[in-house]
Structure 1
Amino acid sequence: MKLVKQTVAQHTVEIIQEGIKTGTYPVGQALPGQRVLAKELGVGRQAIREAISALEGLGYLTVEAGRGMFVVEPEASGSRWRFASQYTIEDVYAVRTALESLSVQLIAVKVPLAKINCLDTLVNQLEAAVDDSDLPAMIKADSQFHRKLAELSGNPLLLEILDTFNMVMTESKNIAFLDTPETNHRSVVAEHRSIVVSLKAKDPEAASRDIKAHILNAQKRAHRVRRKNVL
């Protein structure tokens, strides 16, 4: 069964996250500079830049001009929306709703059941991450699920649009995952499963309705996180 292939940047994010988790990069301490980090991890500078941006969005790093990159607890970052000068959260979720609704409608109409079944594996991975309270793994499984929907849609332009704005889309989803009560994370699993059920039923209207509800709920979760960190 073919799943989503990781990019070098995504793999780099996981390595740094693991380093933070194990204390290789302690909270409160600065990370090595980009050039040193690239050499240590055996990746290019572009992958390091993308990974740092993603980790900053997740709340694992804060970048201080003239001082460097510092490891922080995710909750301490304030869940800043770094793209506020360009887009509101509402802007991003409105676009996600339109694009992902199109994805699932195309899948329900055109894609054989045998290919849709791969989504079960991704939902199971998400559920396992929730069981383990593993936030990075939750985010990874969620990202893979949504990108797989775009792949299965068979529309290369739709996939290209999502990839072009991947950093913005991903950060909007990551903020929602910081809505920490376990019931909220389990709701995400249930919402994903509902989408898959509608796709397997080959019901484009139900699939569209399910993913719109899921994205609306994610938007609400993101707003709760941001309000909590502003107050």
Structure 2
Amino acid sequence: MTDKDAPLAPWEEDDATHPFVKQEVKLLAKDLFLRIRSGKYPYGTRIPAERNLAEELGTSRATVRQVLAFLEGFDMLSKRVGSGTFVIWRGAVAAGARDEEPAEKEPPLADVVSPFEINITRAIFEPEIARLAAIYMSYRDQTALGAVLQQLDEIVTEAGRFADLERAFFMTLCEGTHNALLIAMYRIMHDIRQQPQWYVNKTRSLTPARIKEAKQGLRSIYAALERRNIESAVECMRLYISNMQEELIYTSS
């Protein structure tokens, strides 16, 4: 596709707009817009870090920041402190075409959910799951959870196996709440986290030191549940979530 054939970016529809924005910034913004529009950076995905994007676009980090800020002004990107910059542009339907063309198929949930949204959802769900589990877990539930924890304790360096068993630990814990709706909702989130784009990021962050730290956190959660100490179970869960969020942010930066 030539520049002439390329679709117009929103700011190009009126040549008189943004007269104080450098032409270089507009050109690079157009480049990034076309990448977003083509699906290279679909809705909900995290834009590469500034230094990587600067290399990719052949410009300085200062200019990249101006480009990102410019695109934010057109509701294409959203910067989330501590998490990065995410695509929020879903594309536009031409005027009058909505009734003439069939609606586009909704993209898979895993393709539109951002790490920020997953972190928020975990922060809402998991402490409450720990609270309910401390109340309602049966002896059989605790035995099943203990069996998963024992397998986790044996792992030192196998990041993939640890990630799988960690998910099994939390799913078993959730099943201990005996709340069918909560279990179904939590399973959706776990299905998303099993998709390749999530799984790779998770396993990449699981160094032997991180695995050791995570095992300590999981043991603390289990011990609190075993004692049926509701406050301790909730607090241990919150601490674990916080540590894991920091780990993913560190790995993604």
Q: Give the TM-score of the pair, scaled to structure 1.
A: 0.56
In the TM superposition, what is the alpha-carbon distance from 1:93 to its structure 2 partner?
1.2
Q: State yes or no: 1:160 paired with 2:184.
A: yes
Which residue of structure 2 lines up, in the alignment, with residue 99 of structure 1?
A: 125
In the TM superposition, what is the alpha-carbon distance from 1:114 to its structure 2 partner?
4.5
Which residue of structure 2 lines up, in the alignment, with residue 169 of structure 1?
A: 193
In the TM superposition, what is the alpha-carbon distance from 1:88 to its structure 2 partner?
3.0
Once residues 138 and 179 of structure 1 are traced to their aligned partners in structure 2, the CA distance between those partners, rounded to angstroms, is 11
Once residues 214 and 173 of structure 1 are traced to their aligned partners in structure 2, the CA distance between those partners, rounded to angstroms, is 18
Once residues 204 and 94 of structure 1 are traced to their aligned partners in structure 2, the CA distance between those partners, rounded to angstroms, is 21
Which letter maps to 1:218?
M
Q: Give the TM-score of the pair, scaled to structure 2.
A: 0.52
Measured at CA, do residues 217 and 161 of structure 1 come closer, stay the same or move farther in structure 2, by a change above 3 Å?
same
SS state at 1:154 partner: coil
Once residues 87 and 167 of structure 2 are traced to their aligned partners in structure 1, the CA distance between those partners, rounded to angstroms, is 22
Once residues 217 and 157 of structure 1 are traced to their aligned partners in structure 2, the CA distance between those partners, rounded to angstroms, is 27
Where do residues 190-205 of structure 1 align in structure 2 (5 Å cutoff)?
190-205=216-231
SS state at 2:113 partner: coil
Measured at CA, do residues 96 and 174 of structure 1 come closer, stay the same or move farther in structure 2, by a change above 3 Å?
farther
Answer with 118-127 or 145-154: which moved more. Answer: 118-127
Contact kept in structure 1, 2:134 and 2:233, CA below 8 Å? yes
Q: State yes or no: 1:182 paired with 2:169.
A: no
Gaps of 5+ in 1: 1-80
Count of aligned pairs between the two proteins: 144
Q: State yes or no: 1:223 paired with 2:249.
A: yes
Contact kept in structure 2, 1:97 and 1:211, CA below 8 Å? no
Once residues 177 and 136 of structure 1 are traced to their aligned partners in structure 2, the CA distance between those partners, rounded to angstroms, is 6
Once residues 132 and 183 of structure 2 are traced to their aligned partners in structure 1, the CA distance between those partners, rounded to angstroms, is 13
In the TM superposition, what is the alpha-carbon distance from 1:104 to its structure 2 partner?
1.3
Where do residues 130-149 of structure 1 align in structure 2 (5 Å cutoff)?
131=156, 133-149=157-173
Once residues 149 and 227 of structure 2 are traced to their aligned partners in structure 1, the CA distance between those partners, rounded to angstroms, is 17
**1:116 aligned to 142, 158, 172, which one?**
142
Deviations 1:40-90 (A, max 9, x none): xxxxxxxxxxxxxxxxxxxxxxxxxxxxxxxxxxxxxxxxx9x96533322
Contact kept in structure 2, 1:177 and 1:185, CA below 8 Å? no
Measured at CA, do residues 84 and 219 of structure 1 come closer, stay the same or move farther in structure 2, by a change above 3 Å?
farther
Deviations 1:195-215 (A, max 9, x none): 000001111111011111101
SS state at 1:121 partner: helix
Contact kept in structure 1, 2:123 and 2:238, CA below 8 Å? yes
Percent identity reads 16
Once residues 180 and 160 of structure 1 are traced to their aligned partners in structure 2, the CA distance between those partners, rounded to angstroms, is 27
In the TM superposition, what is the alpha-carbon distance from 1:175 to its structure 2 partner?
2.5
Gaps of 5+ in 2: 1-83, 89-111
Deviations 1:153-200 (A, max 9, x none): 111111111222333234557634422431111111110000000001
Bigger RCO (CA 8 Å, 6+ sep): 1
More helix by share: 1
